[in-house]
Amino acid sequence: MHLELLKKLLLHITDCRISSVVKLEQMIISGLEISKDKVVKVKNADLVKAISQISKELHERDYLRVLLIYFATFDLSPKDRETMMKSI
């Protein structure tokens, strides 16, 4: 029974792209992108682009959560606000 639950959980994580969402959320909140070798400060434009690209692959609730985190974290320029609103 435990193995069956684990299998369902792993399928859910894979289907929902949880690891990609978590990485994106961490980038938004910290403003940093952590790779194997280094830590790089993320530009706002790069975040907008990343959110727009992943939007088509996420469940609606995950996408909404990412947007809420982004809107709570950043004061958007009019151009970025327009780009984000188009993605919604």
Q: How far apart are the first and last CA of the chain?
A: 40
pTM: 0.69
Residue type, 3: L
Is the alpha carbon torsion for 47, 54, 69, 8 positive or negative?
A: negative
Confidence at residue 52, expressed as pLDDT on a 0 to 100 scale: 83
Q: How far is CA 7 from CA 13, 21, 63, 66, 75, in A?
A: 10, 20, 24, 26, 41
Average pLDDT value over all residues in the chain: 83
**Average pLDDT estimate for 50-62:** 83
Which of 21-25, 34-38, 71-75, 77-81 reaches the highest mean pLDDT? 21-25
* pLDDT digit string, tens, across residues 1-37: 889 999 988 887 777 677 788 888 999 999 888 878 8
